[in-house]
Structure 1
Amino acid sequence: MFANWTNVSVGLQYQDLLGLVLFSVLSTVTCCIFLFINGTMLFTLRSKPLFSESPCYILLYNLLFADTAHLAQSQVLYLLAGCRIMLTYPACGVLTMLANLTTTISPLTLVVMSMERFVAVCYPLRHATVITIRTTEVTILTVWTFSSINVFTRVILLLNFPFKDLQSLQMKDFCSPESLLLDPTSALFNKVFTYFVFVSAGAAVSFSYIGVTIAARSASKNKASARKARNTLLLHLVQLGLSLSSTIYNPLLTAISKVLDRIILLRIQMFLYVCIIILPRCMSGLIYGIRDQNIRPVLMYNLCCQCKYLS
């Protein structure tokens, strides 16, 4: 999910240090730019009653908050690995458990957003009574609770490891979620839970898209609204695929490491980190900020004002 430096730690003395430093700087600058945009987007979604009192915008805020937090955590872990800083197991556990929390929240929020669009198109008369601020808040709380249970289970499995038998709590590998899968049970739980979320979320979003597509074809009125909802759901499906693409990061690196030398692997690893980890977490703010006619003017105004303030 994050930079898996364990596979190349043996060959660190052969890596191109200048290229590593350059890429670290570029990725950090890029990450800071997107964090700035996402932060402005979060501020925008709390700046007007239209956004703070609308269920769809409340859900968007939750999605964007999780993506922003995950982006920041990913870059912190990447820089720690790039600087060759070894953490203790407790410190690494806190960072990775927070990452696991936000990783789960994003796809689940996309599922809820898809279902909201499904109800809006297929059951327009019941939308106002079913999708309220109250039910939206309860749903978001349920998403966070489910994600927290996942983290709590991982902590219990981690505590079952006999740390008392270790000479020191200092880690020998760089910190990443995979480095804390210390026994087969933890690895199995991680695999099963990831597959469960992927299949369930994909099925829910696909079902919503199919339902809205059928409604759009059969509707005699509001075809434009149904078409817009269908495009939104298709966007959600793409976002879901991007947010879950991090699950193939380490298996892909493991397969590549068997056929390429360490220096080429390191460069591919950097490229995949940007494409699979950074970019998917930046898509929500950019897409919705530009696409939504209500958000776009307010977001551009806030961005311009903040840029002038910083300059």
Structure 2
Amino acid sequence: MNITDTFHNMTNSQFGQNIMWMQSKVIIVQVLVVIFLCINLLLIVTFFKNECFYTTARYILFAVTLLSDSFLFLVSDLLFILSIFQITMQVFLCSVICISVLLYLIVTPVTLTAMTLERYVAICLPLRHAELCSTRSTVHVILIIHGLSSVPFAVFLFTVFASASLDFYYQYRTCSVKILIVYKWQDHVWSAVFQFYFLIMSLIIMLCYVKIMKVARTASGDDKISSKGLRTVTLHAFQLLLCLIQFWYPLITSILIYTNFTDFQHVRFFCYIMFNLTPRCLSPLIYGLRDEMFLTALKKFLSCGLCDRQ
């Protein structure tokens, strides 16, 4: 066997390994997305089946996170498949998809912050909880959440339209957020806005954590409620941390882009699983399975479904 044949065999072997690894990644992501979507769908149906949840602020905000996360699962999974198989589309259509992803990427952490504030009011200001966290106030909070989440989206939209010509939107490319960033200053502006948002949200959660901890130490009869609220805020902080880390992804990719391509693909896949999917699978755990009232309603819904089948 000559050197040329050996080289071709090695190339074919590497190509085969890459194909197998690519198929494995697609299967892993699809399985995870289907599992998370089924859980979210089950919890959403449970929410809408019980009218008692409509008047409680934390359950309404919980439903908002479930809906936004489910939408993000679907759209980000679509982008993942397009990226893996190098499927091209018009930049205009790609920009619409990416902008919707960016919008709902922010909705979840902002809603988490609102849910933490609700726990702070419930534990530290119990006499004002009914007034501050009424159904009407919660609807206003949801509008504020989407308004605040639209600011980074508007900044990104402005930088994209200000830097690209009209012909650019008719080109066919593999869809990703990166293709919309033409100049480095766009990346800097976008990163600065996100870092500012997450700095403010982190400070709010830390302050709420400290206040609830003080109440938990001094409480006498409500120590169980306070400690549970403290654990909830801690989980929110961990979830928000994972959401924050995903915005370090552009920095990680810029460092690794000049390294081995296979290593780069592995890191990219790990970041997608760890910092995109994982934070959003924690919401069902925090407010779905840990909450006694919601868990009881979920069990009742599941048992009724089984009885109907029998």
Cα RMSD between the aligned structures? 2.4
Distance 2:37 2:307 in 1: 17
CA contact (8 A) 2:120 2:211 kept: yes
Letter in 1 for 2:62: L
What is the percentage of aligned positions where both structures have the same residue?
A: 26
Distance 1:98 1:304 in 2: 37
Asked if residue 40 in structure 1 is aligned to residue 39 in structure 2, the reply is: no
Distance 1:160 1:40 in 2: 43
**What does residue 23 of structure 1 align with?**
25
Distance 1:36 1:309 in 2: 20
Structure label with greater radius of gyration: 2
Unpaired runs of 5+ residues, structure 1, are: 1-11
Unpaired runs of 5+ residues, structure 2, are: 1-13
Structure 2 CA distance for partners of 1:308 and 1:89, relative to 1, 3 Å: farther
Normalising by structure 2, we get a TM-score of 0.87
Structure-to-structure mapping, 1:111-190, within 5 angstroms: 111-164=113-166, 166=168, 169-172=170-173, 174-190=174-190
Distance 2:240 2:303 in 1: 30
**What does residue 107 of structure 1 align with?**
109
Letter in 1 for 2:141: T
**What does residue 284 of structure 2 align with?**
285
CA contact (8 A) 2:116 2:208 kept: yes
Normalising by structure 1, we get a TM-score of 0.87
Structure-to-structure mapping, 1:1-311, within 5 angstroms: 16-164=18-166, 166=168, 169-172=170-173, 174-259=174-259, 261-302=260-301
Q: Deviations over 1:153-208 (max 9, x none)?
A: 32222111242465x72244x32223212234422221111101110000001100
**What does residue 7 of structure 1 align with?**
none
Secondary structure at 1:63 match in 2 = helix
Aligned residues: 296
Distance 2:172 2:182 in 1: 12
Distance 1:63 1:38 in 2: 10
Distance 2:254 2:23 in 1: 23
Letter in 1 for 2:144: T
Q: Which of the pair has the greater relative contact order for Cα pairs under 8 Å at 6+ separation?
A: 1
Q: Deviations over 1:217-274 (max 9, x none)?
A: 1223311111111111111111111222211223223323444x22233233223321
Distance 1:89 1:18 in 2: 29
Distance 1:266 1:307 in 2: 43
Secondary structure at 1:87 match in 2 = strand
Q: Deviations over 1:7-62 (max 9, x none)?
A: xxxxx979701210122022112211111111111111111012122111001111
Structure 2 CA distance for partners of 1:184 and 1:223, relative to 1, 3 Å: same
Deviation of residue 79 (structure 1)? 0.3
Distance 1:300 1:84 in 2: 43
